[in-house]
Amino acid sequence: MQRFDGDLTRQEGLPEASIERAIELLRTGRLHRYQTGEHESEAAALEREFAAWQGSPYCIACTSGGYALFLSLLAFGLEPGEPVLTNAYTLAPVPGSIAHAGGRAVLVECDDDTVIDLADLERKITQSGARVLMLSHMRGHLVDMGLLQDLLDAHGVALIEDCAHTMGASWNGTRSGNFGLAACFSTQTYKHINSGEGGLLITRDKTLAARATVASGSYMLYERHGSGPQAEDFADAKFEMPNCSGRLDELRAAILRPQLADLDAQVMRWGERYRALEAVLRRGNALRLRERPPQEQFVGSSLQFRVPRASAAQCETLVSVARARGVELKWFGAPQPHGYTSRHSSWRYVDSQSLPATERVLSTLFDIRIPLTISAADCELIGEIILASVSEATS
């Protein structure tokens, strides 16, 4: 029987440039972004470079992707108890950030391709009167962004994008993250650039940028922030925004900058691996993979498939048969939250909501990570193992 002996949770080491810069910084002890005197801080340089790479005017670096989501809602001016639309199919940092910002998550169904269901979104915009959608591009899948924008514009709803899985992706040539008022990225180890933990908030709105900067812990040092709005744009923010320190430190900013420079090349490498795995899985009649829309340029750092006719018991068998052959699959239909799978019913801080379409899709949805430490040939082997495991589990 074929077996995969690699490790789907192992990341590549960091570039030498990151390591050298980290050691230099440790020798100086200058790890706080506002402490660097006349030099541009690493954090400010990262913000400037990431904003330029994205093509967005402002970037605020912070301690995690989830913190960036929370910060964006705070800076948006969310009122206590205000509704926030978001995907029912997402991971816990998203509803978590809404809860921490004092909002009330209104969960929107996904369609068979796992992207947000625009008909359900329109219904819930009308029912809830929400001013904002926090849209998770879950597992790197983009909904038709043109149709989405038309819908949000028609109802005057602001968009905050959760780009934890779409750093480097685009729709019709526009980078994911540039469609709305603000967007949030994660630099946690399992995302597309790795500082262990970290977050990046981007926005076109200078007031939101100023409010987020002060809230994230600039104190009155915002003029030393480096890459932010003009001093006069902080006139109200400096008095209005409660501090909740979540600044990015110099060490993490320093190790991220060389990785950002490599990101486009890494996206190509993910694409090769994704396509190799996808080509094998498409041979399986029992599996359903999304046809990736031609407008979508995605980052293939993970792959999802459904086995629509499988029972819950067969899904459980599939996970264990694949695991015995060295392939760790995540099943989003598991009754108990496990690993990074998370279902709305396990978020007890969110009002209980009826989401039959999402539950049906998640009940047979599987996910596999594609780290860059594995090769395209490994991906073919993994694909063969998945096909054999599906046959065995469903026969």
Ligand X SMILES: *Cc1c(COP(=O)(O)O)cnc(C)c1O
Would you say 49 and 257 are in contact if contact means Cβ atoms under 8 Å apart?
A: yes
Count of residues near ligand X by CB under 6 A: 15
- CA distances for 20 relative to 16, 26, 29, 63, 206, angstroms: 6, 10, 15, 22, 34
Cα–Cα distance between 177 and 72 in angstroms, integer? 13
- Which of 75, 78, 91, 379 touches ligand X by CB under 6 A? 91
- Which of 36, 58, 70, 93 touches ligand X by CB under 6 A? 93
Cα–Cα distance between 191 and 369 in angstroms, integer? 10
**Selected range binding ligand X among 61-69, 109-117, 147-155, 325-333, rule: CB under 6 A:** 61-69
Choice between 162 and 233, CB closer to ligand X: 162
Choice between 72 and 227, CB closer to ligand X: 72
Cα–Cα distance between 62 and 72 in angstroms, integer? 11
CB of 297 to ligand X, least distance (A): 19
CB of 150 to ligand X, least distance (A): 24
Choice between 199 and 383, CB closer to ligand X: 199
Angle between helices 376-394 and 312-324 (to 10 degrees): 140
Tokens read off for 201:
């908030």
Would you say 307 and 287 are in contact if contact means Cβ atoms under 8 Å apart?
A: yes
- Which of 72, 90, 166, 170 touches ligand X by CB under 6 A? 90
| Residue 310 near ligand X by CB under 6 A | no
| Concatenated DSSP letters of 315-374 | HHHHHHHHHHTT---EETT-SS-BTTB--GGG-TTS-----HHHHHHHTTEEEEE--TTS
Tokens read off for 281:
């899985």
- Which of 56, 64, 86, 364 touches ligand X by CB under 6 A? 64
**Selected range binding ligand X among 89-97, 264-272, 322-330, 364-372, rule: CB under 6 A:** 89-97
**Selected range binding ligand X among 62-70, 250-258, 311-319, 386-394, rule: CB under 6 A:** 62-70
Choice between 65 and 180, CB closer to ligand X: 65
Nearest to 259 by CA among 317, 307, 198, 207: 198
Choice between 106 and 164, CB closer to ligand X: 164
| Residue 136 near ligand X by CB under 6 A | yes
Residues engaged in binding ligand X (CB under 6 A): 64-66, 90-91, 93-94, 136, 138, 162, 164-165, 186, 188, 199
